[in-house]
Structure 1
Amino acid sequence: MSADRKDSLVEAVLEVLRLNPRFSKIEERNVKRILRKLDESDLTYLANTFDVFREFLEKKCSELFATFRESIQDESGE
């Protein structure tokens, strides 16, 4: 596996983990080290799983924001 490919897969996982404000730089460094030890198929699977999870979170957050915005508009219209 090329280093660029592995870096992009590791970054895909880290992007999701960084959504957690408690995910520190130290933890990021440790996770990177662990992820780099995985073989290509495992790392690809993990990156794809995290990508699906990120899409799910984005969708749910958008829905929650839309519901919140509607409730604010309903309250101001009364």
Structure 2
Amino acid sequence: MPGCANAGSTPPFPNTPTRIRNRARCGRAPAFDKGVYRLRNVVERCSNRLKQWRGIATRYCKTARSYQAAVTLAALLMWL
């Protein structure tokens, strides 16, 4: 159906009455999955912490290889 890109998936965030109506119209389940939300939250927090590094947020690196190295270095320093 038009406007329903993820038909059949569960939303990773709480639903409003409008969303429930729209999902019913599209055929998607109006359920809330805590596990999916928890994993999505971890990924969002990690990406936001990486964006605190100026070189990663603004993408100063010219090549994909050096950008990947910068992301890896920042992730290792955050982990330590």
Band the TM-score falls in, shorter-chain normalisation:
0.3 to 0.5
Greater RCO between the two (CA within 8 Å, min separation 6)?
1
TM-score when normalising by structure 2:
0.34
